[in-house]
Chains A and B, each alone.
Chain A
Amino acid sequence: MAFLEIRDLHKSFGEVDVLKGIDIAIEEGGFLVLVGPSGCGKSTLLNSIAGLETVTSGEIRIAGRAVNDLHPSQRDIAMVFQSYALYPNMNVAENIAFGLEMRGVAKAEREAAVARVAEMLQIGPLLKRRPGQLSGGQRQRVAMGRALVRDPQVFLFDEPLSNLDAKLRVDMRTEIKKLHQTLATTIVYVTHDQIEAMTLATQIAVLKDGILQQVGTPDQVYSNPANIFVADFMGSPTMNLMPASLQQANGTTSVQIGAVSLPVSEPSEALRSHAGRDIVFGVRPEDVTDLSSADRSARFVETLECGIDVVEPTGADKFVVTRLGEKEVTARVRSSERIAPGDRVPLAFNMDKVHFFDPRTEMRIN
Chain B
Amino acid sequence: MSGGGNDVALRSGAVARAVIYAVLIVFAVYYLLPLFVMLVNSVKPLEEIRSGNMLALPEVFTFAPWVQAWSKAQIGVEPTGLSPYFVNSLVMVIPAVALSTFLGALNGYVLTKWQFRGHRIVFGLMLFSCFIPFQIVLIPMARILGMLGIAGTTWGLVLVHVVYGLGFTTLFFRNYYDAFPSELIRAATIDGAGFFRIFRRILLPSSGPIIVVTVIWQFTNVWNDFLFGASFADFDSQPMTVALNNLVSSSTGVKEYNVHFAGAILAALPTLVVYVVSGRYFVRGLMAGAVKG
Contacts and interface: CB of A to CB of B under 8 A. Distances in A.
Interface in A163-184: 163
A73 B289 contact: no
A85 B289 contact: no
A31 B184 CA distance: 25
B289 A134 contact: yes
Contact of A130 (B186, B188, B289): B289
Nearest to B203: A89
B291 A85 contact: yes
B190 A139 contact: no
Given A82-B183, A87-B184, A131 B192 contact: no
Given A83-B181, A89-B205, A132 B289 contact: yes
B292 A98 contact: no
Nearest to B204: A89
Nearest to A152: B190
Nearest to B193: A102
B181 to A, nearest CB: 6
- Chain A interface bracket (under 10, 10 to 19, 20 to 34, 35 or more): 20 to 34
B190 A50 contact: yes
A81 B290 contact: no
- Chain B interface bracket (under 10, 10 to 19, 20 to 34, 35 or more): 20 to 34
Interface stretch (B122-130, B163-171, B280-288): B280-288
B192 A83 contact: no
Nearest to B197: A102
Contacts of A87: 184, 187-188, 201-202, 290
A237 interface: no
A35 to B, nearest CB: 21
Nearest to A104: B192
Nearest to A99: B191
Contacts of A88: 184, 206, 286-290
B189 interface: yes
B292 A99 contact: no
Interface string B197-230: 1000110011000000000000000000000000
Interface string A78-100: 11011111111100000000110
Nearest to A86: B290
A124 interface: no
A136 interface: yes
A77 B190 contact: yes
Contacts of B292: 82-84, 136, 139, 163
Contact of A103 (B184, B192, B202, B285): B192
B293 interface: yes
A52 interface: yes
A136 B293 contact: yes
Interface string A130-153: 111110100100000010000000
A72 interface: yes
A73 B191 CA distance: 6
Interface string A120-132: 0000000000111
A133 B191 contact: no
Contacts of A146: 187, 191
Contacts of A73: 189-193
Interface in B237-293: 285-293
Contact of B192 (A50, A89, A102, A130): A102
B192 A99 contact: yes
A132 B183 contact: no
A51 B187 CA distance: 11
A77 B189 CA distance: 11
A79 B206 CA distance: 22
20 contacts: A71-B189, A73-B193, A77-B190, A83-B292, A85-B183, A87-B187, A87-B201, A87-B290, A88-B290, A89-B206, A98-B188, A98-B191, A98-B193, A99-B190, A102-B193, A102-B197, A132-B288, A139-B289, A139-B293, A146-B187
Closest 3 A/B residue pairs (Cβ): A132-B289, A89-B205, A88-B290
Given A87-B188, A88-B206, A102-B192, 15 more contacts: A52-B190, A72-B190, A81-B187, A83-B292, A85-B186, A86-B289, A86-B290, A87-B184, A87-B202, A89-B205, A98-B193, A130-B289, A132-B288, A136-B292, A146-B191
